[in-house]
Amino acid sequence: MAILRICHFPDDPVLRQNAKRVSAIDSSIQRLIDDMIKTMQEANGVGLAAPQVGVPLRVIVIQMPGGQPMAIINPEIVERTGEQEVTEGCLSVPGYIGEIKRSAQVIVKGRDRQGKRIKIKADGLMAEALEHETDHLNGVLYIDHVESRDKLHQVERPIVPECEHR
């Protein structure tokens, strides 16, 4: 497993691309998932999307604090309900956190790393992470959801884990 370079806004245009669906879950996708998990763990993130490591494919990995890492291929948010106010950061936007609104609950469909269809119902931090990472696949960053400049804050630590709650 390799630790991959994390792309940064605004220097890496891949972060603004619409990522392509994965058509075949082959060994290159398995290797990408392994490397993304390693990279996420090394950065203390709770999630990572393939465009963040320069790969414009619809693959995300998520690991809740104290939980096991999981990968979702071609994730689609099929239902969003409620609202939660969160303070979020992103490994691709180091040095900042922002106050934004996310859905309180989401239902996501996709495939796991074995190619099996999965359906995940989540709330709280998991719902936030699923929205944050799926946004990355559409070229959207959390800063796009920050409604005003006073809700975006500079932080001293240069790297803020993906979707960290404070």
Which parts of this chain interact with Ni ion (CB under 5 A)? 90, 162
Helix (H, G, I), strand (E, B) or coil at 16: helix
Least distance CB 114 / Ni ion (angstroms): 25
Distances, alpha carbon 138 to alpha carbons 52, 56, 74, 86, 127, in Å: 12, 10, 12, 21, 17
Q: Which is nearer to Ni ion, 16 or 116 (CB)?
A: 16
Rounded to the nearest 10°, the torsion over CA 57, 87, 97, 35 is -30
- Catalytic residue, chosen from 133, 147, 156, 162, is 133
Least distance CB 150 / Ni ion (angstroms): 21
Q: Which is nearer to Ni ion, 25 or 46 (CB)?
A: 46
Active site residue 133: yes
Least distance CB 68 / Ni ion (angstroms): 20
Nearest to 82 by CA among 107, 47, 63, 65: 107
Name the residues annotated as catalytic.
Answer: 133
